[in-house]
Amino acid sequence: MTGSTAFQQKFGFRRDEVTLANWRTAPFNRWAFQNVAEIVPSVVQTYGQAQDEAPADPAGILDRKVASLDGAPTVQAFLERTHSDALAVMRRGEFVADWQAPHTRFGAPHLAFSISKSLTAIVAGILEGDGLLDPEAPVVTYVPEAANSAYGDATVRHVLDMTVSLDFEEAYLDPESVFARYRQAMLWNPGGNGESLLDLLCDLKRLPGPHGEVFRYRSPNSDMLGVIVERASGQRVCDLMRERLWGPLGIRGTVAVTVDRQGYARTAGGVSISPRDLARVGEMMRQDGVAGGKRIVAESWIRDTTTAGSRDAWLVGDFVNLLPEGRYRNKWYQSGKGWFCGIGIHGQWVVVDPATETVVVKMASQPEPVDDDMDRENVAFFEWLFTTV
């Protein structure tokens, strides 16, 4: 069997069929989401030996029926129906189940999409603890060239909590939108006019209303946070993550972060990380900022992230139907039921439930960027897992 034939049998298409124009569409995303650095310029950092870890046997849960879901599917059937690539479950700090789809290699990095926002916010929290970053400071304190943009009178807190009054829509599927221009600037789409990510951010306009009143899910806010982090620290985001997050956490696999033509990291959605290593981040959050006996981020920042945030802004915001009791703080979602999470399009989740000492990571290659029904099913599945595994 030739290499190309083996690839086609595994994924259902040839490698040369995957392009910059189609890599986020089905079926090509099944491979592309685990190999983004072959498509988009990326900083790639390898740690430890992920392949030396043995997966935890998931057999004990795969045949269980999830009664809270329509049709009471088995876990195996649910994972397949929701286009899952991998599942990792931790209980009390130990991995108790690892599952991979046939096309997924255990320990391989997977694009986390907007969970990248949550990871970048942790680094911002570390800098806050160092006294290098003030969340209440104006954005222009760190990025003065943003003065004539929507960020000209916004604070870092507005950026962190997605309450910037930004005239921008997350039009994932509209090739004529500003979002398409945004993806060209980050080098995720072909075309463009040589505009960098920072150029675009500093050209975005604001809405008439004040900042701080409405939760508006707008990804450029999180790329701006990456620039703020770099300016506040004097270091590249990828270097900060390596020194202050990945190294102290003791992660085992490879982390890749896509970058634009000027080397700015795509902190809103460009991080690829293995399911287990992402679960280690969730466990650190569950342990109030400590991992392996090392303090990663201040406990006060964890408490703020998991309990604060404007309820009023959430109620008039974009995601209230998914988490009616929720809030959003420091780029993490609160459920209002005690558990909290990071979420990425196409089915990426890291979910932390302190009450049952559980962390769940689910990574997927859902065909649609946003599927509200599938999101609600995922929430029901996680809540079932909390009390079952």
Identify the residue whose tokens are 């959050």: 285
The full set of domains in the chain, from first to last, is 110-386 (3.40.710.10)
Identify the residue whose tokens are 């993806």: 183
Residues involved in catalysis: 114
> Hey, which bits of the chain come out as E strands?
42-46, 84-91, 94-100, 110-111, 254-258, 271-273, 290-291, 294-295, 327-329, 332-334, 340-344, 348-353, 358-364
Residue 20 CA to residue 39 CA, distance in Å, equals 6
Residue 179 CA to residue 164 CA, distance in Å, equals 17
Proportion of the chain in helix, strand, coil states, percent, rounded to 5: 40, 15, 45
- pTM over 0.85? The answer is yes
For the record, the structure tokens of 325 come out as: 């009791």
Residue-level pLDDT at 173: 78
Identify the residue whose tokens are 């009616």: 324
Whether the ω angle into residue 27 lies within 30 degrees of 0, i.e. cis, is yes
Residue 322 CA to residue 382 CA, distance in Å, equals 14
How many DSSP H helices and E strands does the chain contain? Answer: 15, 13
pLDDT in tens, the chain (389 residues): 566 788 999 999 999 999 999 999 999 999 999 999 999 999 999 997 766 789 999 999 999 999 999 999 999 999 999 999 999 999 999 999 999 999 999 999 999 999 999 999 999 999 999 999 999 999 999 999 999 999 999 999 999 999 999 999 987 778 778 899 999 999 999 998 899 999 999 999 999 999 999 999 999 999 999 999 999 999 999 999 999 999 999 999 999 999 999 999 999 999 999 999 999 999 999 999 999 999 999 999 999 999 999 999 999 999 999 999 999 999 999 999 999 999 999 999 999 999 999 999 999 999 999 999 999 999 999 999 999 88
Residue-level pLDDT at 3: 64
